[in-house]
């Protein structure tokens, strides 16, 4: 992008494609369907999105941990979970 080294044979089209793909993933742009956003806006939204995904993983880990902890050892639940994990 900065045209620094001779190794970057990346074309403008490739950059545009990357930006479009990234934009299509971000939650906000899907709702508003804006045209090509500014570089700083794209970066900001990508950062926010990654952070929110990290929070989701953290929350799901909490819930899975709580679920496994409260699992009654003899329940059919525990049995199925164990059989899934054994394979």
Partner 1 sequence: MQATKSFEQAFLRHLLRGFRLSAVSYKSMSLQERKSAIKLSADVAMASARGSRKWTRGLITKLSREDEHRSFLRLILGTEYGRRTKPRHGSWKIPRSKKIVRRSLRVCSRRKNNLRAPHGVKSGVLARTLVEKRTHALKRLVPGGESLDGCSLLDEALDYVISLRAQVDLMQKLLTTFEAPKLRALSKCTLPERKASFVGK
Count the residues of the shown chain that bind partner 1, applying the rule CB under 8 A: 50
Instruction: List the structure tokens of 15.
Output: 């950059």
- Which of 28, 30, 36, 58 is the binder for partner 1 (CB under 8 A)? 58
Does residue 34 belong to the site contacting partner 1 (CB under 8 A)? no
Work out which of 6, 33, 40, 74 binds partner 1, going by CB under 8 A: 40
- Contact, 19 vs 46, CB < 8 A? no
Smallest gap from residue 32 Cβ to partner 1 (A): 19
SS (H, E, C) the chain: CCCCCCCCCCCHHHHHHHHHHHHHHCHHHHHHCCCCCCHHHHHHHHHHHHHHHHHHHHHHHHHHHHHHHCCCCCCHHHHHHHHHHHC
The footprint of partner 1 (CB under 8 A) covers: 1-2, 4, 8, 10, 14-15, 18-19, 21-22, 24-25, 38-40, 43-44, 46-47, 49-51, 53-54, 56-58, 60-69, 71, 76-78, 80-87
């Amino acid at each position: 992008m900065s045209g620094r080294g001779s190794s970057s044979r990346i074309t403008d089209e490739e950059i545009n494609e990357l930006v479009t793909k990234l934009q299509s993933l971000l939650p906000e742009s899907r709702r508003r369907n804006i045209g090509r956003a500014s570089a700083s806006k794209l970066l900001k939204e990508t950062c926010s999105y990654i952070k929110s995904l990290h929070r989701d993983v953290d929350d799901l880990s909490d819930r899975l941990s709580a679920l496994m902890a409260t699992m009654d050892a003899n329940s059919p639940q525990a049995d199925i979970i164990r059989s899934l994990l054994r394979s």
